[in-house]
Structure 1
Amino acid sequence: MRRLPLSLLAASLMLAIGTANAASQTTIPAAAVKTAEQLRDKAMGDNTGYQIVESLTTEVGARLAGSPADARGREWAIAKFKELGYDKVYTETVTYPLWERRSEHAEIVAPFPQALDLIALGYSAGTPKGGLTAEVVRFDSLDALKKADPATVKGKIVYVDAHMERHKDGHDYAIGSSVRVGGPVIASRMGAAGFLLRSAGTDANSRTPHTGVTGFKDAKDAIPAAALSNPDADQLTRVLAYGKPVSIKLELDCGITGTYTGANVIGEITGKKHPEQVVAIGGHLDSWDPGTGAIDDASGVAIAMAAGKLIHDLPQRPDRTIRVIAFANEEMGLWGGRAYADKHASEVSRFQLGTESDFGARKIWRMTASVKPEARGAIEQIAKVVAPIGVDYDASKPGGGGSDLSQMHAKGMAALSLTQDGTDYFDYHHTANDTLDKIDPKELAQNVAVYAAFSYMAAQANGDFGSAPNAFKSDGAED
């Protein structure tokens, strides 16, 4: 046998390793990149997304989970998928507690009698007939409440006065949501009679309170809980500053009245080569009840539906299936997302890539990703396609998949996060001001362009993005 010189042998081995590494890399063919660019450009001038969000917010309006409008929303989604030409439309049931809001009222009864604008929180208990009157005790943060002596709280109405500021990525919502979700539970355990918070919102000058869910898991543990508008929170804080005992009368007619079975509504554009492999995108179909749920989250449903429609209208079907999911009851605790993940956990390896839109309809400005190392090059290819329309790729952060699809990501689905400009999102979030006029059609079109381009490229990729059971368990994604 002829022996190769060591230097030549080493070079041969390096070439073989390099060839093997190249073969393991996920890449997107040039033809798919070109088609994605065409999809992007077409979407930027297309108004399908806006027409969809206008239809949902006008024909159905607010869609509180478990309400009659919830059922109308499901029927709307089924009909809309079919109207848009999706190849397959179906539902998957989701069961959850039925919480109902009927009315709410509050007033300071001493020392300076006056009405307060507020709204009951999800899973709040109702007050006794005739209302609840109790002294108020104020805390400036959730940590301060946690450290309080329970004796100072027992029998009183706890008021947590934590502020949020505007940020492009909306990160102060971590402050407001932790108070809203965790505060009532802590107050209840300490023996409080009720709970109030400064709304988890950034609209300092609007007497429009922000609703949202609490962390109560069992109705027997719930106490009356509500959010004050920011100006009313300011007023209560000023009254408390006089140093006199302050009493409030709460009248909340709300509570859990049983269980309800809704459904995730799903539309598919069937892949021609690998129909069993899916790119998953979506939004949540439910909304809170004061507004019409335009930015939260009719826009997300519309973005995903319109992106799928653009891909559907191409001359040929994509290689993999585009699956658009309109999730049920995200607002009361990711019920639709959790049910979906539980049902499809065993199929996680078939999920090519996914993300949900649930942060309004302003322009997407940042993309992050949780994928296997060999797929980073493909993500960079996607980044180059969406960069001309204002999207920066931050390779240092994980991609969590958005609200509901974070549950599939937790099972091991490779995921993106596509972050909209949220500077003013929490001015309107969960309020009566979440209405269609807050959506700019051109900005919405940019969202559709990003979703259509990335979805198509992922569907056409040579190779996968690393989805596998528990594949991204330690990536630190917080979506």
Structure 2
Amino acid sequence: MLMYRRLLAASATLALISGVAHAQDTKTAEGLRDKALLDRTAWEITEDLTTSIGPRIVGSPAMERAKGWGEAKLKALGFTNIKVEQFAKSSWTRGEESAWLVGPYPLKLNIVGLGRTLPTPAEGIEADVALFRTYAEMMAAPEGSLKGKIAVITQPMVRAQDGYGYGVAGVSRRAGPAEAAKRGAVALLIRSVSTSDSTVPHTGVTGFGPDVVTIPAAAMGVPEAEQLERLAKKGPLRIKLKLASTTDANDVAWNISGEIKGSEKPDEVIVIGGHLDSWDVGTGALDDATGVAITTAAAKLIGELPKHPKRSIRVVMFGSEESGGSSEAYVEAHKAELPKIVLAGESDTGADRIYSLKLPAGAQKHPIATTAGNLLAPLKIFVNRDPSAHGGSDIEGLEAAGVPSIELEQDASRYFDYHHTMDDTLNKVRPDELAQNVAAWASFIYLVADSDIDFRAMKPASAPAAH
């Protein structure tokens, strides 16, 4: 009986201590949240990267400069254990590009070659047009039916807060050239994967590699695509397309990282970050200088606390997201520590306000969900009932290896107006919304970093019964 009473007393004491510790953690997280709203670090990082370095495509001199910039920035902001991890990566360099409607009358088309596209012959390709209003319509065309023609897909993208329309419309860019090639087309033009009505075209990677049979491909501005649709109703169209590009199969890229070392469990790591590379047509402000800035600034604020949280926080500037490679390289370099990576997250949808937090499967009914909900509510962020399914392209490999991930979902309503264009510039970043992002990342990541929470041990909630 005496032993039982002692155990009860010990349990009560432990609960009291735990409650006090939890309250202190929450108070510290709230302080980080409020401080971040006034902090300028993320803006300064975004401004510096887009101004001092500019466009940063893999294989370019600018990407080499970005590597040095990233390493120096992490050192200047107080990060430790800074690493520059090189990996093999083929590169692609854009050359001169042009497109003309030559029949029924001359009209210059505003185009940009899709990333990794094949070049045309030096004299270009001139051919009749086979126009399709949707990707599905082209897919319904029999193999061989487009022989000798330039395929044109004019499918629009739907604007949505969660960016869902990008996946639907983006298949024209990702798989369109290879599928048009199967049907005999000699080139492909697509309506830009864009929610704007601008003549500025949007690039972005298309399918490539030794096993991909493809054709030269480019994207055109939205008004041009709509004009071609109208003209196609009146009679045949003919287009001349010129694309120049080169590839280097023996190039390299780098993942750059730095840490805020944990005070009690430094070998347990939270990985967050954004991607350092960008397409060559703009300065990559929203995609993804802001993602690098948000996560770096959030971790820097945590690092300034009098006492670091229990676990380490590692910020990674991923070096090749736009055409792939960062994720696989990071997992390969860190496969021995995968069991100790307790959480991963990436910021890569611009810098407009965060509206939702998706937790790892099974965490929706854990106390962390309630605590996070209360913490983030003043920022107008709710905890989503759906679990995180895709935290970012650069952490896909970590997710596949079993690392739990989060999604701090940003309002993507206008993101795809500027995505992958020359218009992706600093003046599109809204400083107050950028700061709201930092506040969300800093406060939530601190909560997890200063806890013993094990997302891997949580069981996903069972699906509701069908009615």
1:219 Cα offset (Å)? 7.9
1:143-176 Cα shifts (integer Å, max 9, x gaps): 2211102232122111111111211111100122
Counterpart CA distance in 1 for 2:214 and 2:31 is: 53
> How much does 1:406 deviate?
2.6
Aligned to 2:241: 250
Are positions 1:68 and 2:45 aligned together?
Answer: no
2:271 is equivalent to residue 285 of structure 1: no
- Would you say the 8 A contact 1:123–1:219 is kept in 2? no
Q: Distance in 2 between matches of 1:361 and 1:456?
A: 20
Partner of 2:445, secondary structure, is helix
**What's the counterpart of residue 8 of structure 1?**
none
| Residues 1:88 and 1:189: Cα distance change in structure 2 (over 3 Å) | same
- Asked if the contact 1:365/1:418 (under 8 Å) is kept, the reply is yes
Give, in angstroms, the shift of residue 259 of structure 1: 2.7
User: Given the alignment of the two structures, is residue 229 of structure 1 paired with residue 221 of structure 2, yes or no?
Assistant: yes
Distance 2:162 2:21 in 1: 29
Does 1:45 find its partner at 2:38? yes
Q: Closer, same or farther in 2 for the Cα pair 1:414/1:379, shift >3 Å?
A: farther
Q: Deviations over 1:197-233 (max 9, x none)?
A: 10000111x1100000001222872311000110111
Partner of 2:191: 198
- Rounded to whole Å, the distance in 2 between the matches of 1:37 and 1:116 is 52
1:139 aligns with 2:132: yes
Partner of 1:447: 437
Separation (CA, whole Å) in 2 of partners of 1:318 and 1:219: 47
Q: Could you say which residue in structure 2 is the equivalent of 1:88? A: 81
Partner of 2:323: 332
Q: Which of 449, 452, 455 is 1:459 aligned to?
A: 449
Alpha-carbon deviation of 1:187?
1.0
Instruction: Give the partner amino acid of 2:374.
Output: K
Cα deviation, residue 115, structure 1? 0.8
Q: Which residue number in structure 2 is paired with residue 214 of structure 1? A: 206
Say if 1:281 and 1:324, in contact at 8 Å, map to a contact too.
yes
Instruction: Name 2:298's counterpart in structure 1.
Output: 307
String of CA shifts for 1:52-102, please: whole Å, max 9, x gaps.
100100000111111111111111100000010102211112222211101
- Matched to 2:446, the amino acid is Y
For residue 432 of structure 1, what is the aligned residue in structure 2?
422
The residue identity in structure 2 corresponding to 1:427 is D
Deviations 1:373-414 (A, max 9, x none): 597321331222111111111123434222211321121111
For structure 2, the 5+ residue unaligned runs are 1-7
Q: Is the 8 A contact 2:144 2:182 kept in 1?
A: no
Q: 1:350 aligns with which of 340, 359, 377?
A: 340
- Matched residues in 1 for 2:310 and 2:300: separation? 16
Q: Which residue is equivalent to 1:7? A: none
Residue 152 of structure 1 aligns to a residue whose secondary structure is coil
Q: Which residue of 2 aligns with 1:12?
A: none
Name the SS of the counterpart of 2:164 in structure 1: coil
Comparing 445-454 with 137-146, which one deviates more in the overlay? 137-146
Flag the 1:373–1:448 CA change in 2: closer, same or farther, 3 A: closer
The answer to whether 1:415 aligns with 2:405 is yes
Shift of 1:467: 7.2
Displacement of 1:142: 1.7
Deviations along 1:238-261, one digit per CA (max 9) or x if unpaired, are 221212x21111110014232311
Q: Once superposed, what is the RMSD of the aligned Cα atoms?
A: 2.4
Instruction: Report the CA distance between 1:353 and its aligned residue.
Output: 1.5
Match of 1:92, SS? Answer: strand
The residue type equivalent to 1:453 in the other structure is: S
2:5 alignment partner in structure 1: none
2:150 to 132, 157, 174: 157
Contact 2:151 2:187 in 1 (8 A): yes
Q: Which runs of 5+ in 1 are unaligned?
A: 1-14
Amino acid in structure 2 at the alignment position of 1:354: A
**Partner of residue 4, structure 2:** none
Aligned counterparts of 2:239 and 2:294: Cα–Cα separation in 1: 44
Letter aligned with residue 45 of structure 1: L
1:105: how far off? 0.2
Judged with a 3 Å threshold, the aligned counterparts in structure 2 of structure 1 residues 255 and 380 are, in CA distance, closer, same or farther, namely: farther
Q: For residue 152 of structure 1, what is the amino acid of its counterpart?
A: S
In 2, the alpha carbon distance for the partners of 1:465 and 1:170 equals 27
Aligned residues: 450
The 2-side partners of 1:440 and 1:218 are apart by: 42
What is the identity, as a one-letter code, of the residue corresponding to 1:222?
T
Residue 169 (1) aligns with residue 162 (2): yes
Higher mean displacement: 156-165 or 358-367: 156-165
Which residues in structure 2 correspond to 1:377-392 (within 5 Å)? 377-392=367-382
The answer as to 2:69 corresponding to 1:79 is no
1:404 maps to what in 2?
394
Aligned letter for 1:241?
Answer: K
Separation (CA, whole Å) in 2 of partners of 1:414 and 1:344: 15
Q: Is the 8 A contact 2:145 2:183 kept in 1?
A: no
Please give the alpha-carbon distance, in whole angstroms, between the structure 2 residues aligned to 1:28 and 1:352: 20
1:9 aligned residue: none
Identity of aligned residues (%): 41
Normalising by structure 1, report the TM-score.
Answer: 0.89
Cα 1:28–1:139 shift into 2, 3 Å: farther
Q: Check the 8 A contact 2:364/2:385 in 1, yes or no.
A: no
How high is the TM-score relative to the length of structure 2?
0.91
Alignment deviations for residues 419-462 of structure 1 (CA, whole Å, 9 cap, x no partner): 11111111000011000000111110110011111111111113
The residue aligned with 1:10 is none
Indicate how the Cα distance of structure 1 residues 191 and 28 shifts in structure 2: closer, same or farther if over 3 A, else same: farther
Task: Spell out the pairing of 1:24-35 with structure 2 (5 A cutoff).
Answer: 29-35=22-28
* Contact 1:46 1:445 (8 Å CA) reproduced: yes
C-alpha separation between the residues in 1 aligned to 2:81 and 2:331?
20
Q: 2:285 matched to which residue of 1?
A: 294
User: More deviation in 400-409 or 303-312?
Assistant: 400-409
Identify which range, 440-449 or 336-345, moves more after superposition.
336-345
